[in-house]
Amino acid sequence: MATALHNLSSYDADKVPDASNMCFGIVVAEWNPEITGALLQGAVSTLEKHGALPENIHVKTVPGSFELIYGAHQMTRNDGYDAIIILGSVIRGETPHFDYICQGVTQGIAELNIKSDIPVIYGLLTTNDLQQAKDRAGGRLGNKGDECAIVAIKMAKF
């Protein structure tokens, strides 16, 4: 469903399992920190809202979105996580770099989900401009971080 037709922060709280006995890894890109910081804040607050203890939410940073794959892979090697969330933001520029990064991260996270027993939740914003990213990082369309947290909880119980 297109984000324009669905608020990323909207969900039925009654359908979200209790996360009090779960442990989450979050890998967040440092690039576009205004956006990724807001995504992280949304994810952490939503996990805690559903019972996750702060000490069971482990956040690691990587320089950019392409490095999210490596960070998530390292976390899958730790048996303590019930789910891992990747958070990043790639904004289209004047070169094909956008396409390569978005495609590479998507493929890398898909491969991790195939090979790992731990779900890796895809929280990469791929937008045409900064305003679209802001709209999806706590703006008028909600927060993709909230959505990723809910998906992580549900997939951990899958």
List residues with catalytic annotation: 97
- CB of 24 within 8 A of CB of 83? yes
Specify the residue for token string 């929280």: 123
First to last CA, the chain: 22
Give the closest residue to 42 by CA, choosing from 81, 69, 7, 14. Answer: 7
Give the closest residue to 90 by CA, choosing from 100, 78, 98, 79. Answer: 98
